[in-house]
Amino acid sequence: MSNESLANLLREERRFEPPAELAANANVTAEAYEQARADRLGFWAEQARRLSWSTEPTETLDWSNPPFAKWFQDGRLNVAYNCVDRHVEAGNGDRVAIHFEGEPGDSRTLTYAELQREVSKAANALLELGVRTGDRVAVYMPMIPETVVAMLACARIGAPHSVVFGGFSADALATRINDADARVVITADGGYRKGSASALKPAVDEALTRPGTENVRNVLVVRRTGQDVEWTEGRDVWWHDVVERQSDEHTPEAFDAEHPLFILYTSGTTGKPKGILHTSGGYLTQVAYTHHAVFDLKPETDVFWCSADVGWVTGHSYIVYGPLANGATEVLYEGTPDSPHKGRWWEIIQKYGVTIFYTAPTAIRACMKWGDDIPAEFDLSSLRLLGSVGEPINPEAWVWYREHIGAGSTPVVDTWWQTETGGIMISPLPGVTATKPGSAQVALPGIAATVLDDEAREVPDGSGGYLVLTEPWPSMLRTIWGDDQRFLDTYWSRFEGRYFAGDGAKKDDDGDIWLLGRVDDVMLVSGHNISTTEVESALVSHPSVAEAAVVGATDPQTTQAICAFVILRGSAAETEQDELVTELRNHVAKQLGPIAKPSRILPVAELPKTRSGKIMRRLLRDIAENRELGDVTTLTDSSVMELIQKQLPASG
């Protein structure tokens, strides 16, 4: 971004008060903000008491060598014990931890007592395979209970896991195995996705032929699909051979609060993924607290469902560690939302009586495109709270979500955070905040966020700039694995002493925060910085548009010209396109002002997305500027780019 701060174009006047009953019984009230403001470290020290420590910490934060933080440094705990055993010891062993739903329709229920036995067996198996405290274990799995068990087993013995999303290629897996220097890989023969068995083991076999993966001694393989697998004797072992015969008792050992818990690579939306390191005590404190506060979880009665893949940070923090630390009952679903039919998610919510549902804008927009009549066929009355994460949610999608999934009455919490932040940072509190569609609004109690301009001055209300975090937080990344310098350069060099998130944001007239997309994506048009998010939201607010991606393409007259790629809804795709394009350009001009009027609008069938569902604007920018495409390895489907290129008029 340059001199001029980000323009504030979008006006959103809709407000939704918390339901009275939720507010009256909310886990967290407005008082928490006061308390944390008065004594931030005292607030976090109190939240750390949600956990069971074998040695209670006496020091909350050591910030003597910033930005290398140490939280609860002299405390000791076992993360898996906190997520499993202590609930059994408290008499809740019969409570369901996981309702697993396989894509083909098979299902399985694990209580906390069963989970304790499974995790103990897996921990014993890893020990038998020679995994020692500190050894890294790569996990390349479908969304099945063994994946959660494997992660907790690693945590139990102090072996940091590195989960690699099961949709990644052998190359992506090899780079991540190499970077983390993993000693064991846990995988499955395959998993079910989009209606068929999709193999995983061949990618592991291939990855392990690549240089830099020689230190992998064993591959532990879960049988899920029963498909044929190649076998390397001495290296490969079946989960059912090795894990099943272990003792179901294992005494957890306590580790330092700063013991590494996991390495996780970022989604790669903006470039080469970064190996983010998270540690134990601070991470677990913040994910447990935020899961309690933002989702208002009542462990005795709620059924929680986060639809993310465990391969992403959302899955780590809000499928595995946060909910289980809080003793939640949750749903784990293996497949895609449209297998075998487009109502599958709603069917699952009906089946398990899900009360809290957490998903991503990309999925919400897909459901909008498929039509309101699909969720209407199911009983979604159990839902009492909805959450969103991963991208800015367009106000229109937010309202649709509340209306068609939440019966027009459940609060929607838009949660901003990153792999690097470990847990939710900016979000409404469902019992406190009057929500605004499209805005993450306020930093959580104990979190300090603001928006700065180029000169590192806080922007006044009503203006935009760069989102920064001004105080350390418990679940912050500790470094980029093996690369302290990149950690410093990426996050701590742009603004002295403050964490630079890489996202653009604005404060509205009430001081609430709106996320405006990646700083790298911000467009400069005739001297004004314009956010991709605002132009996209204006397009999506037109009834003919299902999804939009906007980029600034270099243009000699206006510096950058706004170029929009849109997916049209149902019948709009068949109408006269030239007329519609003109209408859409005028619609944006009316919503945001003439400065934001796109110079080109191109209807397309698909948009390029990362495997976590985020739009990859840099590739669209390459297209708009007639350049060769950059790195496409984290793309879901590289044929999408060919499709778009084919659809474009020959000139650029």
Instruction: Give the separation between CA 589 and CA 597, rounded to whole angstroms.
Output: 5
Instruction: Give the separation between CA 154 and CA 500, rounded to whole angstroms.
Output: 31
Contact region for ligand ATP (CB under 6 A) — 23-31, 394-402, 498-506, 558-566? 498-506
**Is residue 295 within the footprint of ligand ATP (CB under 6 A)?**
no
Spatial strand order in the sheet of 513-518: 449-452, 464-469, 499-507, 513-518
57 is in an annotated binding site: no
* Identity of the residue, 275 or 603, whose beta carbon is nearer to ligand ATP in the bound complex: 275
Instruction: Give the separation between CA 526 and CA 339, rounded to whole angstroms.
Output: 46
459 is in an annotated binding site: no
Min separation Cβ 502 and Mg ion, Å: 6
479 is in an annotated binding site: no
Instruction: Give the separation between CA 425 and CA 265, rounded to whole angstroms.
Output: 19
- 519-531 burial string, b = 16+ CB within 10 Å, else e? bbbbbbbeebbbb
- 289-314 burial string, b = 16+ CB within 10 Å, else e? bbbbbbbbbbeeebbbbbbbbbbbbb
Min separation Cβ 619 and ligand ATP, Å: 13
What's the alpha-carbon Rg for the chain, to the nearest Å? 24
* Identity of the residue, 47 or 266, whose beta carbon is nearer to Mg ion in the bound complex: 266
* Identity of the residue, 327 or 361, whose beta carbon is nearer to Mg ion in the bound complex: 361
- 393-413 burial string, b = 16+ CB within 10 Å, else e? bbbbbbbbbbebbbeeebbbb
CB atoms closer than 10 angstroms to residue 594: 9
* Identity of the residue, 225 or 419, whose beta carbon is nearer to ligand ATP in the bound complex: 419
Instruction: Give the separation between CA 335 and CA 101, rounded to whole angstroms.
Output: 9
Min separation Cβ 266 and ligand ATP, Å: 3
Closest residue to bound Mg ion by CB: 266
183 is in an annotated binding site: no
* Identity of the residue, 104 or 502, whose beta carbon is nearer to ligand ATP in the bound complex: 502
Total count of residues recorded for the chain? 652
Could you give the 3-state DSSP secondary structure of residue 498? coil
- Residue from the set 266, 280, 307, 531 that interacts with ligand ATP by CB under 6 A: 266
Name which of 178, 205, 175, 174 is nearest 190 in CA terms. Answer: 205
Q: Which does 321 bind (CB under 5 to 8 A by kind): ligand ATP, Mg ion, none?
A: none
Contact region for ligand ATP (CB under 6 A) — 254-262, 266-274, 557-565, 583-591? 266-274
Are 335 and 94 within 8 A, CB to CB? Answer: no
Which residues contact Mg ion by CB under 5 A? 266
* Identity of the residue, 183 or 617, whose beta carbon is nearer to Mg ion in the bound complex: 617
> H or E stretch including 108?
strand 107-111
- Residue from the set 365, 384, 585, 614 that interacts with ligand ATP by CB under 6 A: 614
**Is residue 503 within the footprint of ligand ATP (CB under 6 A)?**
yes
CA distances from 12 to 340, 506, 537 (A): 37, 13, 11
**Is residue 278 within the footprint of ligand ATP (CB under 6 A)?**
no
Please name the residue ranges forming H helices in 129-251: 145-157, 170-180, 201-207, 239-242
Min separation Cβ 537 and Mg ion, Å: 21
503 is in an annotated binding site: yes
Residues 412-471 that bind ligand ATP (CB under 6 A): 414-419, 440
**Is residue 269 within the footprint of ligand ATP (CB under 6 A)?**
yes
**Is residue 86 within the footprint of ligand ATP (CB under 6 A)?**
no
Q: How many residues bind ligand ATP (CB under 6 A)?
A: 26
**Is residue 390 within the footprint of ligand ATP (CB under 6 A)?**
yes
518 is in an annotated binding site: yes
* Identity of the residue, 515 or 530, whose beta carbon is nearer to ligand ATP in the bound complex: 515
- Residue from the set 118, 135, 236, 391 that interacts with ligand ATP by CB under 6 A: 391
450 is in an annotated binding site: no
416 is in an annotated binding site: yes
Q: Which residues carry a binding-site annotation?
A: 193-196, 314, 390-392, 414-419, 503, 518, 526, 540, 542, 545
Residues that bind ligand ATP (CB under 6 A): 266-270, 273, 312-313, 389-392, 414-419, 440, 501-503, 515, 518, 612, 614
